[in-house]
Structure 1
Amino acid sequence: MTPDDATLVVGATGTTGSRTAAQLIGAGRHVKAASRHASAVPGAEPVRFDWYDPASHVEALDGVDRVYLVPPVGDPGPASVMLPFLQQARAAGVHRAVLLSSSAIPEGGPAVGAVHQALPGLFDEWAVLRPSWFMQNFTGTHVHARSIREHGSILTATGSGRVGFVDADDIAAVATRTLIDDPAPNADLILTGPEALSYDDIATIVTEVTGQPVAHHHLTYDQFRDRLTAQVSPEFAAMLAGLDRAIAEGAEDRTTDAVQRLTGRPPRSFREVAEREMARQ
């Protein structure tokens, strides 16, 4: 990396993209903040970027030597737009790519799993970040957060299954290190918080932090899928409900040391994040 090289942050106004851009800027890096409307990000160079508009990709890649990739939201087959872009990026001189995926999606799996599988063949320097569910789902604009604020409830089909919820700031801290540090990880990194919690545990902590009663309501897979179908396509609703069912069966009941290893500090607990962010509401 030279002083003139830029890091392209795709999704720079989103949950992890905005935090990653801010941390890169804080580290003295030149950041091109990519979003559909070229929105201003303090300290970054704004650039318009739309996954579905190849004409926007040329300017976005100009002068860039590494990229942080947030897949297009809600696209069940993002490889069809992401892989041509990544091939173009490599041809344009990008040599490091860091992909945001999910702990629920393995290499070669559905959705962004196909991009994960292709990434090592496209770039010599790479990392795939596979965070567990975001703690900010309960503190930001996610449906769970809105339900907590408006109804004092969380509705899932997760049963008593536990999740290693992770702070979006910790995800961004890992993203920053994987973009800056040498050598590149060239690894698949599952990111979690310090403990696995059930949604009942989350409701209890939010109640204690805010002083407002919050309850976790247990739905069946069918009930949860049908609720989601009113908001998204039936196929996407079935996939999301299936993720809850996987949690109920123990698929996310784990923690890792990846945040500690990559950042040199322990990941933040959900109680810490709730106290930091829910006090502002």
Structure 2
Amino acid sequence: MNAAGATLVIGATGTTGSRVAAGLIAEGHRVKAAGRSATPVEGAEAVRFDWNEPATFGEALDGVDGVYLVPPIGSSDPASVMLPFLRRARSAEVHRAVLLSSSAIPAGGPAVGQIHQALPGLFEQWAVLRPSWFMQNFTGFTPHARSIREDGAILTATGGGRVGFVDAEDIAAVAVRALTDEQAPDADLILTGPQALSYDDVAAVITEVTGRPVVHRHLTFEQLRDRWAAEIPLEFATMLAGMDRAIADGAEDRTSDTVQRLTGHPPGTFRTFAERELS
């Protein structure tokens, strides 16, 4: 990448974006921290950006040669707003793009899968990060964190299916390498932690680390879909519940060596995460 160019980090105050921005800044790279309110980020240039407001695209892309892409949250059709931005980024001579996607969604699949499919044809260098479920899904104001606090329970339709939960710290570390190494991966990267765990396993670890009893309550697909649909559009609720059903069928029962291979260090364990974030 051009050393003089900045990296635009979309969602720079979010779970991965904040960590990507911090990692880039720590290595001495110029960062434009993008968000809907242009929230100041130490060491970065804050810039207002909204996927639904094309008028914000120009300033965000000015002086940029790489971009970290976090899709609009909760959208079942991110391509409608992302593709126009990406075409504009290409015209603005952005050379490298790293997309945050999901292990559950392949190239050409629904939602962000459409962006994944388009990315190699738009940019000279690229990577698609496909992390498994975030360990951070059990912290803050996420649905799992709320249900743990309020009911001492994790509610899923995953049955005994296992997931290679991954720490957002490790996702960000891979993103920094993908954005700044001399050559981008130009690849689809599955990111996991070192172990595949069931939600029963997760509940047991949280119980041991915090000393507060936590259980995993098994819901049906329909029960979970209806719970989600009370808060979000039915189409998106159905997609999320379907991801749980896929976990029950074994879709996420895997681990990868991507974090170790790209960063040089092993991915963190769920217990280490819980001791750091939940104890």
Using the TM superposition, give the Cα deviation of residue 141 of structure 1 relative to its aligned residue in structure 2, in angstroms.
2.1
1:222-248, CA deviations, whole angstroms, 9 ceiling, x for partnerless residues?
Answer: 111111111111111111111100000
Aligned residue number for residue 4 of structure 1? 4
Summarize the alignment of residues 210-249 of structure 1 with structure 2, pairs less than 5 Å apart.
Answer: 210-249=210-249
Code of the aligned partner of 1:6: A
The residue that corresponds to 2:83 in the other structure is 83
1:51 matched to 2:54: no
- Aligned partner of 2:180 in structure 1 is 180
Give 2:138's aligned amino acid.
F
Q: Residues 146-194 of structure 1, C-alpha deviation per residue, up to 9 Å, x if partnerless?
A: 1112221100000000000000000000000000001110000000000
Instruction: Give the aligned residue type for 1:136.
Output: Q
| Inter-partner Cα distance in structure 2 for 1:42 and 1:71 | 23
Aligned to 1:114: 114
DSSP 3-state at the match of 1:150: helix
Structure 1 residue 3: deviation in Å? 4.0
Contact 2:194 2:268 in 1 (8 A): yes
Aligned residue in 1 for 2:166? 166
Q: Structure 1 runs of 4+ off > 3 angstroms?
A: none
Q: What per-residue deviation string (whole Å, max 9, x for no partner) do you get for residues 58-101 of structure 1? A: 00000000000000011111111111111110111100000000
Query: Post-superposition shift, 1:9?
Result: 0.2
Please tell me whether residue 193 in structure 1 is matched to residue 193 in structure 2.
yes
Which one-letter code corresponds to 1:39 in the other structure?
T
2-structure distance, mates of 1:87, 1:226? 37
Amino acid of the residue matched to residue 80 of structure 2?
Answer: S
Kept after mapping to 1: 8 A contact 2:75/2:236: no
Cα distance in structure 1, aligned partners of 2:80 and 2:14: 22
Structure 2 unaligned segments of length 5 or more: list them: none
Q: Distance in 1 between matches of 2:274 and 2:164?
A: 15
Alignment of 1:115-134 (within 5 A): 115-134=115-134
Output the TM-score relative to the length of structure 1: 0.98
The residue number in structure 2 matching 1:74 is: 74
Contact 2:2 2:65 in 1 (8 A): no
SS in 1 for 2:98: strand
How many residue pairs match? The answer is: 279
Question: 1:96 maps to what in 2?
Answer: 96
Paired residue type of 1:170:
D
Following TM superposition, by how much is the alpha carbon of 1:195 offset from its aligned partner in structure 2, in angstroms? 0.4
Deviation per CA, 1:233-278, whole angstroms, max 9, x where unpaired? Answer: 1111111111100000000000000000000010000000000011
Moved more, 264-273 or 218-227: 218-227
Identity, in percent, stands at: 72
Tell me how far apart the structure 1 counterparts of residues 3 and 125 of structure 2 sit (CA, whole Å): 19
Query: Whole-Å Cα distance in 2 between the matches of residues 273 and 138 of structure 1?
Result: 10
SS at match of 1:176: helix
Q: Distance in 1 between matches of 2:26 and 2:11?
A: 18
Determine helix, strand or coil for the equivalent of 1:15. Answer: coil
For 2:134, the aligned partner's letter is: F
Which residue of 2 is the match for residue 202 of structure 1?
Answer: 202
Matched, 1:27 2:27: yes
TM-score by length of 2: 0.99
Counterparts of 1:257-272 in structure 2, within 5 Å, are: 257-272=257-272
